[in-house]
Amino acid sequence: MRDDYIKEAQKIIQDPNILINVVSRRVKQLKRGSRPLVESLEKLSPEDIALREVIEGKIQHELSEN
């Protein structure tokens, strides 16, 4: 994973545990064949694609309060 993507994604989702959960869930979807929501001229790993999707606001998270 690219460090610059991680740092940018942490600005969007500050809690590292939530960021890990969001990215890992999206990576699983991408590996199962889901189409990326971002375009890139370079070949990105599923992890980097998921981070870019967070950075660009293509995927979001919600916190449930119990």
Q: What is the CA radius of gyration of the chain?
A: 12
pLDDT in tens, the chain (66 residues): 899 999 999 999 999 999 999 999 999 999 999 999 999 898 999 999 999 999 999 998 876 665
pLDDT at position 44: 94
Contacts (Cβ under 8 Å, ≥6 apart) of 65: none
What was the pLDDT predicted at 62?
75
Residue 42: both structure tokens together: 């370079």
* Rounded-to-integer distance, Cα 55 and Cα 66, Å: 28
The pLDDT value given to residue 49? 97
pLDDT at res. 61: 81
